[in-house]
């Protein structure tokens, strides 16, 4: 697979977000199914695997460590701190002592001596970003992590953090239906030499067009609290997915491949990390990395699905208050 740069690392142009295997979208797959998917991704040339202490309150890191630690030299390992499970509840805590302690816990779960790319999962607004990044820079000097990333922050916060220590990657949601990074963050990343890692590049299952009935979501599925997945809004948004499917058929690819190809075309510093629990979906996604599509087709996709055509914000008010990203 073609590669792109994240700090000192050359990684596959499409990575794998591992969250789905333990967290967020209902009942996770069995260990055997998750193991098969992770190993298949490695065999297909994926060299960026993204997890976090939050996912499954540590169980996702344990899964990735158990399955992939024997192959540690073959891939770039990314994880996150600053948002973890405490007594069964999600807690945002960016205090330096907390970040250093949870890094040690993650290293143990991941069965590794060093985490290649370590993100601050959320900026704890009660702690200056300079203090949290300072703690992460201490971890770099200690040899426990190699590069620092930030998640869900604004361009202004990125610049403040970068003044303390080079930020190798900024991760936030980016896809045809979520364009917030285009306000300022993408340009800031270009200027600073920071890679942009796009999570939910397939819009949490929306863009492939196969998710038709949101009433079937598991009770704990995080999409139940997202305005775009509310029944009335989703019914309207489905028309956009149908239009994308028609355009993809015209171009001779799948909707997922078209959506990922569009994202890759937005900049050489962009690395999408779709997540899935199914090997067939993984293979479909990875096909986008080598897909030659006319610029006109990509432009039509962007015109079809964008902030002016999508109904509903990406987060509800309570969740939006926890993040620092620019909003339209």
Residues labelled as active-site residues: 55
Residue 118 and residue 138 in contact, taking contact as beta carbons nearer than 8 Å: no
DSSP 265: T
Q: Which has the closest alpha carbon to 82: 168, 9, 150?
A: 150
Structure tokens at 169: 């990657």
Residue 273 and residue 50 in contact, taking contact as beta carbons nearer than 8 Å: yes
Q: From CA 145, how far away is CA 77, in angstroms rounded?
A: 10
- DSSP annotation string for 195-249: EEEEESTTGGGTTTS----GGG--TT-GGGG-GGGSHHHHHHHHHHHHHHHHHHH
245: Cα within 13 Å, side-chain hemisphere: 12
Q: From CA 303, how far away is CA 297, in angstroms rounded?
A: 10
Q: Is 325 helix (H, G, I), strand (E, B) or coil?
A: coil
Torsion of CA 260, 184, 99, 112, to 10 degrees: 30
Matching residue, tokens 């993040």: 323
Cross-strand pairs, 11: 4
Q: Is 281 helix (H, G, I), strand (E, B) or coil?
A: helix
- Exposed/middle/buried for residue 255 (C-beta within 10 Å: 0-12, 13-18, 19+): buried
> Looking at the chain, how many residues does it have?
328
- Exposed/middle/buried for residue 327 (C-beta within 10 Å: 0-12, 13-18, 19+): exposed
């Amino acid at each position: 697979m073609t590669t792109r740069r994240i700090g000192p690392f050359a990684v596959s142009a499409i990575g794998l977000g591992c969250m789905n295997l333990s967290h967020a979208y209902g009942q996770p797959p069995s260990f055997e199914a998750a193991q098969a998917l992770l190993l298949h991704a490695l065999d297909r040339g994926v060299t960026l695997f993204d997890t976090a202490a939050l996912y499954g309150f540590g169980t996702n890191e344990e899964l990735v460590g158990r399955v992939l630690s024997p192959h540690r030299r073959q891939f770039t390992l990314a994880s996150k701190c600053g948002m973890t499970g405490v007594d069964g509840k999600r807690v945002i805590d960016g205090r330096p002592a907390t970040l250093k302690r949870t890094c040690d816990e993650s290293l143990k779960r991941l069965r590794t001596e060093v985490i290649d790319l370590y993100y601050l999962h959320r900026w704890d607004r009660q702690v200056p970003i300079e203090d949290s990044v300072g703690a992460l820079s201490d971890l770099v000097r200690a040899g426990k992590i190699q590069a620092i990333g930030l998640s869900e922050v604004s361009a202004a916060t990125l610049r403040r953090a970068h003044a303390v220590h080079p930020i190798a990657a900024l991760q936030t949601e980016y896809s045809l239906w979520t364009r917030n990074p285009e306000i300022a963050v993408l340009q800031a990343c270009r200027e600073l030499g920071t890679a942009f890692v796009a999570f939910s590049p397939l819009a949490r299952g929306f863009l492939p067009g196969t998710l038709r009935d949101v009433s079937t979501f598991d009770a704990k599925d995080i999409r139940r609290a997202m305005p775009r997945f509310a029944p009335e809004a989703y019914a309207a948004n489905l028309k956009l997915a149908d239009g994308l499917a028609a355009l993809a058929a015209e171009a001779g690819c799948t909707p997922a491949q078209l959506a990922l190809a569009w994202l890759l075309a937005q900049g050489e510093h962009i690395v999408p990390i779709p997540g899935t629990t199914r090997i067939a979906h993984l293979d479909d996604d990875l096909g986008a990395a080598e897909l030659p599509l006319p610029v006109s087709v990509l432009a039509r996709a962007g015109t079809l699905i964008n902030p002016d055509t999508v109904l509903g914000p990406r987060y509800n008010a309570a969740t939006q208050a926890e993040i620092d990203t620019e909003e339209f």
